[in-house]
């Protein structure tokens, strides 16, 4: 007999799911019945928030949905934060959970793991949340979830299976093929209007966001065709390589780029929210667009948020960029074209702004010297804040962190584990602070268990440094920020990791060079000489 739980596994396997993150409980064991006989690998985190962050990191690297199996109640409340992070950053995630039997829903009788309304709770951080009321619904509901992942703005989807449904017979269901679904393409009229405006622009500016990560070649071609200085959000980092003459980096909150945005006659913004954490980390509301704004986004509502466009194109980024490239006359972008000169002036001014950050620059140079292909998965700490401005990489999906959007501390370790599982051959550096690492520290055990060779670069300043500074700047006596910091090296070793404190840059280089392939290496860097200014 095939149960509904077994059928679910078969259907997921048929649609390309190769990894599931989850912690089983008495409510979900029936989801596990089919897993050992499948090609799906199961990764066990130490907390459901870890499962969600791992799925997030896996999804960002592979472009495929990260899939989690989660128990009713506490499992779902635990993963909710990670779903919020994925929701804010438009990451595809499929959360399959159990829920109490249909006849027991919404009674408040105190059944095991009971919540008043689990579906309603997750609805706020998902594209949709669905309670399966019959086995027969499952194929269509799963197909709806994949329709979101394939052709909408990606977001988490939650499907909950009542206990009497998970174990119900499902032999009569057959595994469906995945129906290919195209992403929305641009309508003709706004596309032509946009192309005409862009062809005439004297001082164009291109703003690319995380919605463009699957369109690297198109992003490079479009920047050149427009000869437009190009700013990248943090999730778009790498779409233009470090030496690209039009690159402005991710510095939209800084004056030189803001002046460019004000002067530009036409601004083309693609796959970007134009949101606060990329355009206004200084929270002063001073990112202004002076000229005409053309927006391209897969989410029609997003086209109308933050900055109103004069031309709005509802489309997948890559499809629209390709269509625009066909309509645009090629401008000769070169090292000294007008666009490149405007970008070079901004970069020179930014370099002055960054002069106090030479020590961070040196840290990243050291890492990239040893591991030029590295991917950086960060938390919300000094190395991340500075790297957001300083680091440029060749290739997208190589720099993401929890300093943007929802901004959850503790993200960086489990997301790095997911990223490494998603693309094992690429070195992964998890950029953590001593505060953030303590949120999800036990996931080191999950990484050891899964034989994941990530490098955790711990920036230790004995406290919630950023918040302490913020309090001091506002004349608030620091409280709750000088936290006790444990012996991270002993703890990491206790979990089975390699762990060392880097004495200096030469030592750091050595440690990185000899990082084990099959278990994490924790490298502690003290926020003091020789890593400080
Ligand atoms: C879940 C969560 N709780 C609290 C915060 C607020 N917060 C942001 S940064 C920060 C300090 C982080 O300390 P650490 O990781 O040591 O980095 P540092 O600033 O010291 O470099 C805190 C508490 C948050 N972003 N997320
Ligand atoms: Mg700290």
The model's pLDDT over 195-225, given as tens digits with 9 standing for 90+, comes to 999 999 999 999 999 999 999 999 999 999 9
pLDDT of residue 503 exceeding 70 = yes
Structural domain ending residue among the three candidates 336, 352, 368: 352
Q: What is the pLDDT of residues 439-486, one digit of tens each?
A: 999 999 999 999 999 999 999 999 999 999 999 999 999 999 999 999
Nearest protein CA to atom 5 of ligand 1, as residue: 409
Q: Is the CB of 434 under 6 A from ligand 1?
A: yes
Does residue 181 form part of some domain?
no
Do 205 and 289 have their domain in common? yes
How many alpha carbons fall within 13 Å on the CB side of residue 146?
20
> 458 alpha carbon to ligand 1 midpoint, in Å?
13
Does residue 532 form part of some domain?
no
**Which band of pLDDT confidence, cut at 50, 70 and 90, is reported for residue 532?**
confident
Q: What is the mean pLDDT of residues 289-294?
A: 97
Do 439 and 478 have their domain in common? yes
Do 256 and 144 have their domain in common? no
Four-CA torsion 184, 186, 187, 188, nearest 10 degrees? -150
The pLDDT, as a whole number, for residue 1 is 81
Candidates 357, 431, 466: which one to mutate for ligand 1, based on the most atoms within 8 Å of Cβ? Answer: 466
Do 326 and 341 have their domain in common? yes
Nearest protein CA to atom 2 of ligand 1, as residue: 409
Do 125 and 47 have their domain in common? yes
- Global pTM reads 0.98
Give residue 209's domain range: 188-352
Contact 314, 300 (CB under 8 A): yes
- How many domains does the structure of the chain reveal? 3
Nearest protein CA to atom 3 of ligand 1, as residue: 409
Q: What is the largest CA-CA distance in the chain?
A: 73
Do 413 and 433 have their domain in common? yes
- Report residue 137: phi and psi, to 5°: -70, -20
Does residue 305 form part of some domain?
yes
CA–CA dist 292, 273 (Å, integer)? 17
The residues near 389 (Cβ < 8 Å, ≥ 6 apart) are: 249, 250, 251, 254, 350, 354, 357
State which ligand 1 atom lies nearest to the alpha carbon of 437: 15
State which ligand 1 atom lies nearest to the alpha carbon of 409: 26
Q: Is the CB of 345 under 6 A from ligand 1?
A: no
**Sheet with strand 428-433: strands edge to edge:** 399-401, 375-378, 428-433, 455-460, 521-526, 498-501
For residue 294, the SS3 value is strand
Continuous H helices in 245-337: 255-263, 276-279, 317-327
> 433 alpha carbon to ligand 2 midpoint, in Å?
5
Q: Is the CB of 435 under 6 A from ligand 1?
A: yes
CATH number for position 370? 3.40.50.970
Do 144 and 284 have their domain in common? no
CATH number for position 227? 3.40.50.1220
The residues near 353 (Cβ < 8 Å, ≥ 6 apart) are: 254, 255, 256
Q: What is the pLDDT of residues 333-346, one digit of tens each?
A: 778 899 999 999 99
Q: What is the pLDDT of residues 72-86, one digit of tens each?
A: 999 999 999 999 999
> 467 alpha carbon to ligand 1 midpoint, in Å?
7
* Cβ neighbours, 10 Å, residue 121: 16
Do 153 and 39 have their domain in common? yes
Do 331 and 387 have their domain in common? no
Structural domain ending residue among the three candidates 318, 352, 386: 352
- Which DSSP category does 356 fall into? G
pLDDT of residue 331 exceeding 80 = no
**Which band of pLDDT confidence, cut at 50, 70 and 90, is reported for residue 332?**
low
The pLDDT, as a whole number, for residue 361 is 96
Do 342 and 379 have their domain in common? no
What's the Rg (C-alpha) of the chain? 24
The residues near 128 (Cβ < 8 Å, ≥ 6 apart) are: 144, 145, 148, 157, 158
Structural domain ending residue among the three candidates 131, 166, 201: 166
Q: What is the pLDDT of residues 253-281, one digit of tens each?
A: 999 999 999 999 999 999 999 999 999 99
pLDDT of residue 142 exceeding 90 = yes
The pLDDT, as a whole number, for residue 335 is 80
Do 144 and 224 have their domain in common? no
Q: What is the mean pLDDT of residues 360-364?
A: 96
State which ligand 1 atom lies nearest to the alpha carbon of 383: 21
The pLDDT, as a whole number, for residue 169 is 97
Do 162 and 23 have their domain in common? yes
**Residue-averaged pLDDT of the chain:** 97
Continuous H helices in 89-184: 118-123, 138-151, 163-166
> 436 alpha carbon to ligand 1 midpoint, in Å?
6
Does residue 386 form part of some domain?
yes
Contact 444, 490 (CB under 8 A): no
Q: What is the pLDDT of residues 229-256, one digit of tens each?
A: 999 999 999 999 999 999 999 999 999 9
Q: Is the CB of 433 under 6 A from ligand 1?
A: yes
Does residue 513 form part of some domain?
yes
Does residue 183 form part of some domain?
no
Q: Which of 61, 2, 39, 48 is nearest to 21 (CA)?
A: 48
The pLDDT, as a whole number, for residue 531 is 81
The pLDDT, as a whole number, for residue 291 is 97
Does residue 531 form part of some domain?
no
Does residue 171 form part of some domain?
no
pLDDT of residue 35 exceeding 70 = yes
pLDDT of residue 530 exceeding 80 = no
């Amino acid at each position: 007999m095939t149960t509904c739980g077994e059928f679910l596994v078969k259907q997921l396997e048929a649609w390309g799911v190769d990894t599931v993150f989850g912690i089983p409980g008495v409510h979900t064991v029936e989801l596990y019945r089919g897993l050992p006989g499948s090609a799906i690998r199961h990764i066990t985190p130490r907390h459901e928030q870890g499962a969600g962050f791992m799925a997030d990191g896996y999804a960002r690297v592979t472009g495929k949905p990260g899939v989690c199996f989660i128990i009713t109640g506490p499992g779902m409340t635990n993963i909710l934060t990670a779903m919020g992070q994925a929701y804010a950053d438009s990451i595809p995630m499929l959360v399959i959970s159990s829920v109490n039997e249909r006849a027991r829903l919404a009674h408040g009788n105190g059944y095991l793991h009971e919540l008043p309304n689990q579906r309603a709770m997750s609805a706020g951080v998902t594209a949709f949340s669905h309670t399966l009321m019959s086995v027969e619904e499952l194929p269509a509901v799963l197909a709806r979830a994949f329709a979101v992942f394939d052709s909408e703005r990606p977001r988490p989807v939650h499907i909950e299976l009542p206990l009497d449904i998970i174990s119900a017979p499902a032999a009569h269901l057959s595994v469906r093929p995945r129906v290919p679904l195209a992403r929305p393409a641009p309508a003709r009229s706004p596309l032509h209007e946009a192309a005409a405006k862009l062809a005439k622009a004297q001082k164009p500016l291109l703003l690319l966001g995380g919605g463009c990560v699957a369109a690297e070649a198109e992003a490079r071609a479009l920047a050149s065709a427009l000869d437009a200085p190009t700013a990248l959000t943090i999730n778009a980092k790498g779409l233009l390589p470090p030496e690209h003459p039009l690159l402005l980096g991710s510095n939209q909150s800084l004056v030189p780029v803001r002046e460019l945005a004000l002067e530009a006659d036409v601004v083309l913004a693609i796959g970007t929210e134009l949101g606060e954490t990329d355009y206004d980390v200084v929270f002063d509301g001073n990112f202004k667009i002076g000229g005409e704004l053309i927006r391209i986004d897969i989410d029609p509502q997003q086209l109308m948020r933050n900055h109103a466009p004069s031309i709005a194109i509802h489309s997948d980024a890559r499809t629209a960029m390709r269509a625009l490239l066909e309509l645009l006359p090629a401008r000769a972008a070169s090292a000294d074209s007008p666009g490149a000169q405007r970008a070079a002036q901004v970069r020179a001014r930014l370099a002055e702004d960054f002069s106090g950050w030479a020590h961070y620059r040196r840290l990243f140079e050291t890492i990239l010297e040893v591991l030029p292909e590295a991917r950086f998965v960060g938390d919300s700490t000094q190395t991340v804040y500075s790297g957001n401005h300083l680091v440029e990489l060749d290739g997208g999906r190589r720099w993401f962190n929890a300093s943007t959007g929802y901004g959850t501390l503790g993200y960086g370790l489990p997301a790095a584990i997911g990223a490494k599982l998603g693309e094992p051959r690429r070195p992964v550096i998890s950029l953590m602070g001593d505060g953030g690492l303590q949120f999800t520290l036990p996931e080191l055990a999950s990484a050891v268990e899964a034989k994941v060779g990530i490098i955790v670069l711990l920036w230790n300043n004995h406290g919630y440094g950023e918040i302490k500074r913020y309090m001091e700047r506002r004349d608030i006596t620091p409280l709750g920020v000088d936290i006790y910091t444990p012996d991270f090296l002993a703890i990491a070793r206790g979990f089975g990791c390699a762990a060392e404190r880097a004495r200096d840059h030469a030592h750091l280089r050595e440690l990185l060079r000899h990082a084990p392939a099959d278990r994490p290496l924790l490298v502690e860097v003290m926020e003091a000489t020789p890593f400080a200014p």
